[in-house]
């Protein structure tokens, strides 16, 4: 049984249909050839009878061999058919299966090849990939002992309201907010909706906990909760909307602007590239797989342009930008500094559009954030180079400037550059932190929409912070090495992780070439660190040991 959508199961049917067809066509051609051979035979009559009897026996034998081969192939087709449905995302694997079965019909020795390919496919099956992901997250490197989180290390605290205050707020909210549910939560954690649990779970060190029990409820709500409001989000260059849910949760919606398989146009500069909704989703998964947990949860969702945006928006500027395209698709373009025009409209097909839904961080009035300009920011100019591109001792200078002169800020920035290199994101001009935690805190990895634009090329300059500073967290290096092993292969665990997103029903979130690019780039990162270790006398010059307490690492 296919686990996926009609379209993919149709593809599977067509695939296996083609498969059998090709096989039958080959056999038909063989029989036809044999018939024509007989008619041109020129042997004497008696010999012909004898030969005929022998040839009849031979044909019978051939038929038996052929039929048993046929049965074998059909049973193999059926078993592969099942696997290929689960792996509908993997054209490379499908090609190799169809290739080996065609050759099997002509040579039994190739059966062995088919057997091994089938085995490989089975080993790489979805269930196996999930097992890899599970094993990865259960590995001690993902469960390192962490310092106790003191009261002051939580971003927010629940304040118990006075009874009258609570009552008046509830009345105000239920009386004034159309489409919202009455508030039923109080100081007790069991009453909190998933978005509030997420906010209350943000600490000085991470956006959410490893194996956070709230994560699935949160992502499920982002993916399916009713949308009661959609307004444009100011800030940034490209159009995005803040969506609100009946329980007051919110998400940042970034619509699909390009097809997943489309590589970035080579003539576009990194700063004028379109953003990708699937990059926002994949970045969340990658960040989590790397063990950082610094991206707020993001899921994919199909949004109804009319019912879930146009009909409910209170944003008058946005409302004026809706139109129906010549082919009848519902479109809008909003107002922003890049690509907000009829030529770059965001259109449903005909009514629904894919997009990413990122869990909104707590409002700035509750938890203000500080935006930091990256020392390795690009010039955002077609002609100028940034200082880090020309100065050989650039890192030495950075290391002397606060906040890079102490604590983990530099290695945290290097973690971010590793994430960016893996997903080929050149657009990391700023990063943010929560003001409350000062300089001693994690970096929030927001805005990943310009990642995963190119799989056929790697961009070495993204790794400049690592190359120039030759410094890396020990825990990061160990996890990178783990992800380069076949049993935890980065592309496999990413494929498994991304297959949990609802948008796989439309198509895989990352194409196979993007997944392979991750493995290739991971090798480059590990090699870069290896080179650093060779260049330095002491390992401690390169490795920032953040896990001395971790036994056996
Ligand atoms: N999940 C989130 N929760 C709250 N605020 C967010 C979230 N994601 C992004 N923001 C804020 O929204 C603003 C714009 O977001 P983002 O940088 O993703 O948009 P953008 O259009 O891609 O920006 P740019 O063009 O600068 O790359 C930023 O100021 C950021 O702080
Ligand atoms: Mn952006």
Q: Is residue 1 part of a domain?
A: no
Taking only the tens place, the pLDDT of each residue in 381-416 is 888 999 999 998 999 999 999 999 999 999 999 999
Pair 311, 391 in one domain: no
- Top-confidence residue, 124 or 79: 124
Q: State the chain's mean pLDDT as an integer.
A: 81
| Of 174-183, 218-227, 288-297, 388-397, minimum mean pLDDT range | 174-183
Query: Looking at 181-280, which runs of residues are DSSP E strands?
Result: 229-232, 241-244, 250-255
Among 335, 359, 383, the domain boundary falls at 359
Looking at ligand 1, which atom is closest to the CA of residue 361? 3
How far, in Å, is the centroid of ligand 2 from the Cα of 351?
Answer: 25
d(CA 406, CA 403): 6
Pair 411, 295 in one domain: no
Ligand nearest to the CA of 357: 1
Would the pLDDT of 16 be above 60?
no
Pair 87, 205 in one domain: no
Pair 166, 290 in one domain: yes
Would the pLDDT of 532 be above 60?
yes
Would the pLDDT of 320 be above 90?
yes
Pair 276, 395 in one domain: no
CA separation, residue 365 to residues 249, 368, 369, 446 (Å):
16, 6, 10, 19
What is the set of active-site residues?
427
Which residues span the domain enclosing 56?
Answer: 6-123
Would the pLDDT of 318 be above 70?
yes
The runs of H, that is alpha helices, within 124-240 are: 126-138, 163-176, 194-200, 215-224
How many independent structural domains does the chain possess? 3
Looking at ligand 1, which atom is closest to the CA of residue 369? 31
Ligand nearest to the CA of 237: 1
Pair 296, 263 in one domain: yes
Among 359, 378, 412, the domain boundary falls at 359
| Of 13-27, 397-411, 538-552, minimum mean pLDDT range | 13-27
Length of the chain counted residue by residue: 553
Pair 16, 67 in one domain: yes
**Residue to probe by mutation, ligand 1, list 231, 234, 236, 298, most atoms within 8 Å of CB:** 236
Q: Whose CA is nearest to atom 11 of ligand 1?
A: 235
Q: Is residue 109 part of a domain?
A: yes
d(CA 67, CA 80): 20
How far, in Å, is the centroid of ligand 2 from the Cα of 498?
Answer: 21
Would the pLDDT of 218 be above 50?
yes
Pair 86, 198 in one domain: no
How far, in Å, is the centroid of ligand 2 from the Cα of 450?
Answer: 6
Would the pLDDT of 151 be above 70?
yes
pLDDT of residue 66: 60
Pair 337, 374 in one domain: no
Q: What angle do CA 508, 512, 489 make, to 5 degrees?
A: 105
Ligand nearest to the CA of 235: 1
Q: Cβ of 397: how many Cβ atoms within 10 Å?
A: 13
Q: Whose CA is nearest to atom 23 of ligand 1?
A: 236
pLDDT band at 170 (very low <50, low <70, confident <90, very high): low
Would the pLDDT of 2 be above 60?
no
Q: How far is CA 333 from the centre of its chain?
A: 26
- Top-confidence residue, 531 or 41: 531
d(CA 80, CA 170): 57
Taking only the tens place, the pLDDT of each residue in 432-477 is 999 999 999 999 999 999 999 999 999 999 999 999 999 999 999 9
Three-state secondary structure call for residue 182: coil
Q: What percent of the chain has pLDDT over 90?
A: 61
Instruction: Using a CB cutoff of 5 Å, list residues around ligand 2, an ion.
Output: 447, 449
CA separation, residue 553 to residues 76, 139, 477 (Å):
44, 12, 11
């Amino acid at each position: 049984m296919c686990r996926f959508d009609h379209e993919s199961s149709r593809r599977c049917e067509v695939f296996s249909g083609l498969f059998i067809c090709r096989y039958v066509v080959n056999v038909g051609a063989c029989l036809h050839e044999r018939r024509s051979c007989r008619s041109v035979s020129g042997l004497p009559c008696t010999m012909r009878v004898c030969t005929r009897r022998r040839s009849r026996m031979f044909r019978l034998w051939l038929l038996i061999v052929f039929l048993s081969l046929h049965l074998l192939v059909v049973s193999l087709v059926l078993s592969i058919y099942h696997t290929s449905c689960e792996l509908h995302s993997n054209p490379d694997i499908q090609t190799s299966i169809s290739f080996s079965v065609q050759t099997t019909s002509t040579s039994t020795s190739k059966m062995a090849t088919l057997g091994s390919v089938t085995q490989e496919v089975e080993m790489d099956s979805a269930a196996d990939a999930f097992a890899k992901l599970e094993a990865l997250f259960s590995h001690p490197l993902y469960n390192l002992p962490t310092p106790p989180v003191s009261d002051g290390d939580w971003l927010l605290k629940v304040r118990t309201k006075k009874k009258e205050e609570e009552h008046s707020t509830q009345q105000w909210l239920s009386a004034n907010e159309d489409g919202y549910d009455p508030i039923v939560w109080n100081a007790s954690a069991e009453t909190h909706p998933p978005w509030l649990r997420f906010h209350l779970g943000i600490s000085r060190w991470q956006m959410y906990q490893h194996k956070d029990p709230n994560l699935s409820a949160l992502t499920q709500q982002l993916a399916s909760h009713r949308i009661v409001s959609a307004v444009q989000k100011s800030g940034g260059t490209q159009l995005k909307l803040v969506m609100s849910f009946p329980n007051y949760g919110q998400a940042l919606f970034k619509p699909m602007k390009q097809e997943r398989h489309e590589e970035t146009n080579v003539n576009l500069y990194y700063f004028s590239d379109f953003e990708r909704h699937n990059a926002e989703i994949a970045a969340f998964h990658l960040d989590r797989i790397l063990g950082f947990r610094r991206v707020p949860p993001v899921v994919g969702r199909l949004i109804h342009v009319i019912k879930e945006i146009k009909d409910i928006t209170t944003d008058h500027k946005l409302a004026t930008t809706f139109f129906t395209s010549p082919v009848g698709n519902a479109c809008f373009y909003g107002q922003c500094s890049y690509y907000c025009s009829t030529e770059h409209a965001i259109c449903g097909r005909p009514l629904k559009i894919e997009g990413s839904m990122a869990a909104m961080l707590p409002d700035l009035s509750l938890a203000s954030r500080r935006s930091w300009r990256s020392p390795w920011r690009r010039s955002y100019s077609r002609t100028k180079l940034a200082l880090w591109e020309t100065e050989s001792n650039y890192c030495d200078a950075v290391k002397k400037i606060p906040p890079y002169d102490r604590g983990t800020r530099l290695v945290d920035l290097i973690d971010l550059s590793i994430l960016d290199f893996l997903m080929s994101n050149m657009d990391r001009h700023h990063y943010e932190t929560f003001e409350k935690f000062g300089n001693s805190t994690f970096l929030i990895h927001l805005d990943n929409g310009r990642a995963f634009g190119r799989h056929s090329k790697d961009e070495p300059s993204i790794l400049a912070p690592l190359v120039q500073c030759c410094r890396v967290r020990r825990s990061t290096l160990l996890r990178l090495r783990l992800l380069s092993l076949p049993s935890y292969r980065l592309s496999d665990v990413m494929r498994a992780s991304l297959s949990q997103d609802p948008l796989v029903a439309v198509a895989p979130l990352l194409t196979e070439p993007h997944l392979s690019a991750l493995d290739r780039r991971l090798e480059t990162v590990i090699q870069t660190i290896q080179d650093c270790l060779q260049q330095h006398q002491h390992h401690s010059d390169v490795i920032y040991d953040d896990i001395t307490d971790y036994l056996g690492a």
